[in-house]
Structure 1
Amino acid sequence: MKRRIVTLIGLLFIVIGIVMLSLPKMAEYNINNHVTRVDDMYHTLDSNQLRSNVESEAEFDFSAIDDISPTDTFFDPANLDSNLVLGQIVIPSIDVQLTIFKGITNQILNAGVGTMKENQTMGKSNYSLAGHYTHSGQLFGRLEELNIGDKILLNDKEMIYEYDVYDTLIVPPTAVEMIEDQLAEEHGNAIVSLMNCFYVDDVNTGDRYFVLGELVGTHPYSEAGVAMNHF
């Protein structure tokens, strides 16, 4: 009997080990699935719907946001509200194409990016977006690879807003000035500010990583234009 119990315990530990080893790959698969599903949601909406969604009520509780974990990725993205979809962000140099939602929740950040202030307008002032860092490089996991001059494209299916990266920096979480409109006023032009948590050797330092881009042009929306960076 004791030998049987020991054998069962050993098998249990083997199963647990296999599950733990497979969790990161399962998380990558889940994130890809979430991104695809909310992208499909974005494509069902027209510019009029996206424009009206700017007035939707949304959550902006930063204290409720957790680091992304494999278990978090098992949520159903179908629960996300299409009335919170505002548009899309495309960053060609790091192969980013994500849906922009109004507000900040764990569900939003596990599938796309979220706006960081209640009243934001693409192409005006400081349009601030937050996304999750991931070890796999999904979502905003490759934000640190952006270089000065790289393109950031936002669209609301009416216009494409073209930004060029002009600065990157690491700040403490208390640096709320990074998302305020005064930052754009000081720069002398409309900007976009992209944020994720700053990691060193896959360990969260508690700081925030920001990429800042300045508006260099606006263009009539075309899906092909966004995808190819041709206007």
Structure 2
Amino acid sequence: MSEEKNPQSRSERRKKEKRKGGRFQTILGVILIIIAAALLAIDPIKNQIIRQGSEQNQIGNLTREEVIANQDRDVEYDWQAITNINAAEVLANSINPNDLPTIGGIAIPEVSMNLPIYKGVTNEGMYLGAGTLYPDMEMGESNYSIASHHSINEDLLFAPLMRVEMGDIIYLTDLENIYVYQVDYIDQVEPTRVDLVQPTVEPIVTLITCDYSLNERVVVQGSLVETVAIENASQEMLNAFNLPQTIPG
């Protein structure tokens, strides 16, 4: 009798194991759906935090005195500490835009970009604008290198760089001058291409972000074509930064 029952017992055990496996897969599937729904829910919140923070710190909301004070702030330049942007981290960090040292602004009218430039390399700065890669850089001199995150939202942070074309105009300002650059180099490179951010003889600007895969870097460079005192700026230049006609001192 025991030999006849064994095959049936094994069959019943297999059926029970299949039922358990099916229930586990169902539960796992439900959990994944819940997680996906949660991520979809918090992503718009993350985008709104980024948008509000970067708009709050736009250069048009600062005075020249505030920019000068921020230039003297002690900051970090730790490239290794930068991580890919994600909704959970942005929400968890509760970034206060007032804590970030805005020292300028970057605008590219052709792609509707107008972002604050922060002194230093920090996750917080690159969540809400662009950060300077080296200390003691000066707009309009050598290689002014700044970086920011690539966002899934094509209008946030440095995601608009994907739409920049050769010949487009890049404006930088520190509220003393507006520095006009023209794009003459666009490439997708390995992260090891640090030569692209090294000092140069001719004044250029270098903008860096991740590509769509987050594995390589998109680099946009422009050569300086003009430096205009802020009081002599054209209406087009002022509009690019949402600057008033008269700049407060």
Check if 1:161 corresponds to 2:170.
no
Alpha-carbon spacing, 1:20–1:228, altered in 2? closer, same or farther (3 Å):
closer
Q: CA offset at residue 48 of structure 1?
A: 3.1
How does the TM-score come out when normalised to structure 2?
0.76
Q: CA offset at residue 209 of structure 1?
A: 1.2
Check if 1:122 corresponds to 2:151.
no
Q: CA offset at residue 176 of structure 1?
A: 1.4
Pairing 1:150-229 to 2, within 5 Å after superposition = 150-181=168-199, 184-185=200-201, 189-199=202-212, 203-205=213-215, 207-221=216-230, 224-228=235-239
Question: 1:121-179 deviations in whole A, cap 9, x for unaligned?
Answer: 00000000001101111100121211111010000111100000001112221221111
Runs of 4+ in 1 over 4 A off after TM superposition: 12-17, 222-225
Counting matched residue pairs gives 211
Paired amino acid for 1:31? I
Alpha-carbon spacing, 1:162–1:79, altered in 2? closer, same or farther (3 Å):
closer
Check the 8 A contact 2:145/2:206 in 1, yes or no.
Answer: yes
Check the 8 A contact 2:53/2:97 in 1, yes or no.
Answer: no
Check the 8 A contact 1:132/1:196 in 2, yes or no.
Answer: yes
Deviates more, 1:66-75 or 1:159-168: 66-75
Three-state SS of the structure 2 residue aligned to 1:173 is coil
Three-state SS of the structure 1 residue aligned to 2:178 is strand
Paired amino acid for 1:22? A
Q: CA offset at residue 53 of structure 1?
A: 2.9
The one of 54, 76, 88 equivalent to 1:59 is 76
Paired amino acid for 2:214? N
Provide the rounded CA distance (Å) in 2 between the counterparts of 1:152 and 1:46: 21
Partner of 2:129: 112
The one of 129, 143, 147 equivalent to 2:165 is 147
Check the 8 A contact 2:184/2:222 in 1, yes or no.
Answer: yes
Instruction: Report which of the two has the higher share of strand.
Output: 1
Alpha-carbon spacing, 1:120–1:25, altered in 2? closer, same or farther (3 Å):
same
Check the 8 A contact 1:37/1:77 in 2, yes or no.
Answer: no
Q: Percent identity?
A: 30
Paired amino acid for 2:63? D
Three-state SS of the structure 2 residue aligned to 1:23 is helix
Paired amino acid for 1:87? G
Question: 1:61-105 deviations in whole A, cap 9, x for unaligned?
Answer: 0111000001122233326535x2111111101111000000011
The one of 21, 42, 46 equivalent to 1:27 is 46
Provide the rounded CA distance (Å) in 2 between the counterparts of 1:145 and 1:103: 26
Deviates more, 1:158-167 or 1:30-39: 30-39
Deviates more, 1:50-59 or 1:136-145: 50-59
How does the TM-score come out when normalised to structure 1?
0.82
Partner of 1:38: 57
**TM-align CA RMSD:** 2.5
Q: CA offset at residue 227 of structure 1?
A: 4.1
